[in-house]
Structure 1
């Protein structure tokens, strides 16, 4: 496995109104391969997710059916592990994949996280589609396959089809893993307008993975978004002074100018964005403004995803969260990613600081 050097030291933190704070732009994390693999676990907001805590909607029987099927996968993996433990290991066969298809808020991620917890950290990897593509970029393809083939289950949340290159990469990765007997379990969201037309993403998914389609079972989860999310977050723009005051009241919080962070993200591999915000109690950004560049926007999406995974509150000064991405971007090919980021950023900017 290729080696990535450990994180460089972080410069002394600046002070804001007498309170020690930090700057994201002073942080240059460089997690090694072990750190990246160790991070493939359910995020904090799903740390307590279990099959027993999933509540299927009685009005949509497909949810209860999906719960039963994912529980079955966990039982099959446990049975195979038991046979190996007692020396009755059979030849490893092709891994049979599972694809959970549905709209926002029907519990797909809860089920995937519950599966990872049930199988155990040593036997199950859990990450988003983007995290796996970044892992390949950081480790190299062969080293990534070798590392992930040690798991019985590889969970892929939010499988994305909007980048042909990444989709081809993930299809190849899944082929290598299933050849080695690893069971991939993936989820994907369907855009609200597609759901309104009665169209889910499974057809697109099976077409894009082509030769692998026969190795996947598709489960469709119907239902309403339990959060009743409308898409764009509400709320007015905060002033920069309010952001500085919030940071000053929270020791260890970070404070940065928005454009400085965007420039810093361009210098870091996206696989490092999680380590960039690890341990922060609050992230403050001043001078925020709308962006109209997809390269910049996609980096910002990854940063928001990592902040959301770690449940880090954000205070944003200059513009409201709903206005961060331009109308062109919200109607383009990456709109699913941008809408997800807006929803998450809206939640983080209203989250209480603990």
Structure 2
């Protein structure tokens, strides 16, 4: 597989590819490990910058507890001279809806412990790492950290969930602290710890080690579950993309086809050097495997704060009603919330260029 040059800090002025479909990134396993750091979108996230909504006391309570956890990890209890028992590592799980600040809090925890002593990634990124390095090399690499953060823990693939449960068990046995997040569906927010019960059931042997922290609230992005924002005219999308050296411009169908030829673990590298993504003829996605690839791309775009310009039907009806009721619905709702926020940023870019 051929690869495009990966822009480095010394070459940031190099023009980004004109099209994402022209890029076939080659990502060595070492980069997958090196990329396990807080995403750019949350580079400035700290406990001090989290604004707990007083209407939802659980937000402030979770913030306070995580500050305690950070102190526990940074300065673990000292073992007595005659103690044979290994100190129990902290393990916390944040459960709540979309956009309530869970990733901000998780990233703040990583920063408080120290980025050099933490690994931060999504569930998918850790499963990709195991696939690239092998199970025990992944354990050895992560066991060197004090804290492993898993954002968006997923329960929709039994094999991956079992793999992750085994990985986390190996890490906790070695004294590594854990912190994870997941999402409760909007319609399940009134059902108590709906997602938390699923999580604890699936991780089985680890369940007793995890402390569940509920984070209530509304989506801070202030978007409906399915956005109703207007797409941009195709000519506007093309003109704005042509005016920037860091922009890419792709036909939506061509991009979807290209994503099928690139492993999802490389989607982050696909965006190296890209500051704006423009897509024309956006329309509803009918095939599940294609939609799931698009979800991963949206997550990588959001991590990197890359605005998007969309023409066609836009993001409003991107996924079918059947998908939004199916087993992967959490992923789709998250993608809609995030893509809507990035599209709003894209509209701001377009207005400034007008």
RMSD after superposition: 2.5
Secondary structure of the corresponding residue to residue 194 of structure 2: coil
Matched-pair contact (CA < 8 Å) for 1:288–1:319: yes
Name the structure 2 match of 1:15.
none
1:158 to 152, 155, 163: 152
Does the 8 Å CA contact 1:93/1:179 hold for their aligned counterparts?
Answer: no
SS of the residue 1:279 aligns to: coil
Q: Secondary structure at the match of 1:323?
A: coil
CA contact (8 A) 1:102 1:200 kept: no
Q: Provide closer, same or farther for how the CA distance between residues 311 and 44 of structure 1 changes in structure 2, counting only shifts above 3 A.
A: same
CA offset digits 1:233-269 (Å, max 9, x no partner): 1223333322211111112311122222112111111
Query: 1:227-246 counterparts in 2 under 5 A?
Result: 227-246=221-240
Q: Which runs of no fewer than 5 residues in structure 2 stay unpaired?
A: 7-14
* TM, length-normalised to structure 1: 0.88
The equivalent position to 1:32 in structure 2, one of 7, 22, 28, is 28
Matches within 5 A, 1:281-296: 281-296=275-290
Deviation digits for residues 163-214 of structure 1 (CA, Å, limit 9, x no counterpart): 2222112111111111111111011110010013445311111101011101
Pairing of 1:64-75 with structure 2 (within 5 A):
64-75=60-71
Pairing partner for 2:109 from 110, 115, 118: 115
Aligned length in residues: 337
Query: Residue 77 in 1 paired to residue 73 in 2?
Result: yes
SS at match of 1:321: coil
Is structure 2 residue 88 aligned with structure 1 residue 104? no
> Residue 10 of structure 1 contacts residue 28 of structure 1 at CA under 8 Å; is this kept in 2?
no
Per mean C-alpha deviation after superposition, the further-off stretch among 276-285 and 293-302 is 276-285
**Displacement, 1:228?**
3.4
**Which of 274, 280, 297 does residue 280 from structure 1 map onto?**
274
For residue 317 of structure 1, what is the aligned residue in structure 2?
A: 311
For residues 31-73 of structure 1, the C-alpha deviation after alignment (integer angstroms, 9 at most, x for no partner) is 2222212211222221111111222233433222211221112
Q: Which residue of 320, 329, 332 corresponds with 2:326?
A: 332
Question: Cα distance 1:164–1:227, how it changes in 2: closer, same or farther (>3 A)?
Answer: same
Contact preservation (8 Å) 1:138, 1:271? no
